[in-house]
Structure 1
Amino acid sequence: MKKSPAPERGGGFNSLGFDKPPAETRVVVAMSGGVDSSVVAALLKDQGYDVIGVTLQLYDHGAAVHRKGACCAGQDIQDARLVAARLDIPHYVLDYEEQFREKVIDPFAQSYATGETPIPCVSCNSEIKFADLFETAQDLGADALATGHYVSSKLDSAGHRALYRAADATRDQSYFLFATTKAQLELLRFPLGDLPKTEVRALARQFGLLVADKADSQDICFVPTGKYSDLIERLSPGAAAPGDIVHVDGRVLGRHSGVIHYTIGQRRGLGLGATAAAAGEPLFVIRLDAAQARVVVGPRRALATRLVRLRSLNWIGPGALDDLDSEGRELFVQVRSSRPPVPGYLYVGDGQTLVEFASDEDAVSPGQACVFYESDQPQARVLGGGFISSTEPACPAATKISRPAHLEDLPL
């Protein structure tokens, strides 16, 4: 038996919260060609909504990886077409390659070349899907834009639409959606937020969708080989400048062929051989100094981070960011998609945004997202977040970095 999204609290006539029958509610579904977005389109069509499928042509896969014959992007588009035909819904393929290159790929390459660990999926959602595609959906007269993300959009106690973690914490994708604005949330819908992946695949089979057993994508879509350095070198010539591998105590231990080949927390593949063995303890990448072409390494304890500075802050919690207590707000923060949220404190003021972890976090890198939640439980509300611009170590002496003066009195 097919399962449809449950009606929302205070949602009116239909399950998406609009005060009119489904047949009079137009929904644009962002169809990637995968099983999740295909099931969203099938569920909404089954409920009687006026569904339009839209697929974005974002990149030439062959050009992205510099390899002739690569056709995965084309296959995804074809799969979306076939699903739309199966459901008997209108389907459009829109060429967004120029926007994607300008807003996602180029910034990714530039950020990576400076020693950061960028997250292009966040930019794709905020700058392409929930911006350019959002406008396209409105041009098509849509009441809502629906996607296959595992996250929920629901009304909060004040009647405003808010973002919440998925019911299945193992599938939750809210980390990649923190940059969504309050205005966008009013028209965004995520029908899979309360469903486990196993049920989504079962629904795909019930609907007779050819993508029911299609594998989930694992890598960044425009770098399917996982070799980011190849793309960076091609888009940012000179980014692979060689330099020194330096211990946190100042000793030069060896040479490297470019900081783009290293990530914070990396242990293997440092190319130090006997030099690393002579250190007496495992060495990890502690910091990437792209300006001076240096890879800084040290013991594991030097990876511990207690404080991060954020840029591009976005607040989607209750009230306004200006309402936050100057003494700091206790909340939960997540700094990697593969890690659970942990307790922390948010400080906003004096032209900067700071987050202090209640306990040390390892391998935190500039460029990563720091996302805020009300709790660490499934279906917790997403409060916003920002991108990490710099980090402060838990043991300043180990890396010769001191804490900001105005936080000297905060407990370590």
Structure 2
Amino acid sequence: MKQKVVVAMSGGVDSSVAAALLVEKDFDVIGIGLRLADHHNMESSHRGCCAPRDLADARSVASILNIPFYVMDVRDSFRTSVIDKFVNEYSLGRTPVPCVSCNQVVKFDYLAKRALSLGADFLATGHYAKRIDHFGRHTLSRAADKLKDQTYFLFGMTQLQLSHTLFPLSDITKEQTREIAHSYGLPNADKDESQEICFVPNDDYRTFLKEEGEMDIPGQIINSTGEVIGEHSGFKNYTVGQRRGLDVMGNEPKYVLEIIPDTHTLVVGNREELYEESFEVEDVQWSVPIKESGHKLLVQVRHQQKPAMCSVSALSKNVIKVMPENPSSLGAISPGQAAVFYDGDILYGGGWIANKN
């Protein structure tokens, strides 16, 4: 009997080719698209994923591959676990990573459970990541296409989720993916990459926050000694590390060092003041747990950033202290962003950068 696999099909070329490769390997393939959010007034410029036209592309691909295709309405789950969290994080002066939340809750929890309820053996996606076993644990390693690697967004996968997930694109490049799509005559073979947050029109998060009821409240801009050197129109328009849009005294460029939401204050300073000797990561999830303090791991705090060697020590069960060997190598440390831990190309775990104490 064929093994059954549900493929999360967004309408992009990656998930489409993932489905095609699994058909080639004689799996019983079912395509499922996700209706994540209401995309009214977004169709002309939207370049995210899972908008109505994207789901239409996925349905066309499924027809060519001769596989069934269904759409799941997950708007309620997506609203609660992704959109509401996104808005709340900005209200707390943090910088969210909604793609991680979407993967953790919507795709690899909600959809995976639905796939298993349909009798599927596996869930498959078009992520560029490679599932491996390491020291008796399921985890991920970076994909063959290092420029497209997406393991940074997948650190929250559990052992059970990893055991039931396939990543068919793990050993091919983006260029090869497009070649395979052309060989099948898929209509989205040359479709543009998803570049935006899928629920934020035109990648304009500031306007989106206003539409969600988050109003700008002006406040002071101070330097690291507490001197008031300017004013801002609302702290939600800024993120740690930002340089643009700061109306402050002085000729030297200033960067946002800290956001203090309780007093609506921005703390700014020189570039060198951005670099942290240490920082904390909370809600850490390990695929491969570390056993000793001072463990040396590569740490990545932004997607497509070069990871830097750090000393990693547990402060409590799910809180980690990170000490970069060279603080400038990580750049700005933005609370709310994901910090992901690697040993070489092997994913060990990750969590969320905590606010400064």
Structure whose alpha-carbon radius of gyration is higher: 1
For residues 214-236 of structure 1, the C-alpha deviation after alignment (integer angstroms, 9 at most, x for no partner) is 00011111113111112222324
Structure 2 residue identity aligned to 1:315? W
Of 245, 250, 255, 1:276 maps to 250
Give the conservation status (yes or no) of the 8 Å contact 2:201–2:208.
no
Give the conservation status (yes or no) of the 8 Å contact 2:78–2:106.
yes
- Residue correspondence of structure 1 range 229-244 to structure 2 within 5 A: 229-238=206-215, 240-244=216-220
Q: Tell me how far 1:142 sits from its aligned partner.
A: 0.5
Of 238, 246, 264, 1:293 maps to 264
What's the counterpart of residue 192 of structure 2?
215
Cα distance between partner residues in 2 of 1:69 and 1:190: 29
Of 274, 298, 302, 1:336 maps to 302
What's the counterpart of residue 353 of structure 1?
320
Q: Tell me how far 1:161 sits from its aligned partner.
A: 3.0
Q: Relative to 1, partners in 2 of residues 1:264 and 1:349: Cα closer, same or farther, differing over 3 Å?
A: closer
Q: Tell me how far 1:276 sits from its aligned partner.
A: 3.4
Q: Tell me how far 1:71 sits from its aligned partner.
A: 8.4
SS at match of 2:278: strand
Of 226, 249, 264, 2:225 maps to 249
Give the conservation status (yes or no) of the 8 Å contact 2:4–2:120.
yes
Give the conservation status (yes or no) of the 8 Å contact 2:144–2:172.
yes
Structure 2 residue identity aligned to 1:111? E
For residues 124-183 of structure 1, the C-alpha deviation after alignment (integer angstroms, 9 at most, x for no partner) is 00010000001110011101100000001123364x432111122111100000011111
Cα distance between partner residues in 2 of 1:196 and 1:173: 13
Of 72, 80, 100, 1:102 maps to 80
Cα distance between partner residues in 2 of 1:155 and 1:261: 42
Give the conservation status (yes or no) of the 8 Å contact 2:147–2:304.
no
Structure 1 residue identity aligned to 2:331? D
Structure 2 residue identity aligned to 1:343? M
Consecutive unaligned residues of structure 2, counting only runs of 5 or more, are none
What's the counterpart of residue 149 of structure 1?
127
For residues 260-317 of structure 1, the C-alpha deviation after alignment (integer angstroms, 9 at most, x for no partner) is 1111111122133xx232xxx2111111111110111111111011211111110001
Q: Tell me how far 1:246 sits from its aligned partner.
A: 1.1
SS at match of 1:365: coil
Q: Tell me how far 1:69 sits from its aligned partner.
A: 6.2
What's the counterpart of residue 399 of structure 1?
none
For residues 58-110 of structure 1, the C-alpha deviation after alignment (integer angstroms, 9 at most, x for no partner) is 00112xxxx47668511001001110011110111000001100000000100
- Residue correspondence of structure 1 range 299-314 to structure 2 within 5 A: 299-314=270-285
Give the conservation status (yes or no) of the 8 Å contact 1:305–1:391.
no
For residues 299-353 of structure 1, the C-alpha deviation after alignment (integer angstroms, 9 at most, x for no partner) is 1111011211111110001xxx4x611x321111101113111101111134632
Q: How many residues align?
A: 350
Cα distance between partner residues in 2 of 1:313 and 1:58: 26
Cα distance between partner residues in 2 of 1:39 and 1:207: 9
Greater displacement, 351-360 / 216-225:
351-360
Cα distance between partner residues in 2 of 1:166 and 1:69: 32
SS at match of 2:110: helix
2:19 pairs with 1:41: yes
Of 86, 90, 94, 1:112 maps to 90
2:148 pairs with 1:183: no
SS at match of 1:232: helix
Cα distance between partner residues in 2 of 1:57 and 1:260: 28
What fraction of aligned residue pairs are identical, expressed as a percent?
43
Give the conservation status (yes or no) of the 8 Å contact 2:178–2:190.
yes
What's the counterpart of residue 332 of structure 2?
363
Q: Tell me how far 1:391 sits from its aligned partner.
A: 4.6
Q: Relative to 1, partners in 2 of residues 1:34 and 1:308: Cα closer, same or farther, differing over 3 Å?
A: same
2:239 pairs with 1:263: yes
Of 57, 69, 72, 1:91 maps to 69
Scaled by the length of structure 2, the TM-score of the pair is 0.94
Of 150, 171, 195, 2:172 maps to 195
Query: Over aligned residue pairs, what C-alpha RMSD do you find?
Result: 1.7
Of 25, 34, 53, 1:75 maps to 53
2:347 pairs with 1:382: yes
Give the conservation status (yes or no) of the 8 Å contact 1:365–1:391.
no
Structure 1 residue identity aligned to 2:211? R
What's the counterpart of residue 145 of structure 2?
168
What's the counterpart of residue 397 of structure 1?
none
Cα distance between partner residues in 1 of 2:112 and 2:119: 11
Cα distance between partner residues in 2 of 1:276 and 1:70: 42
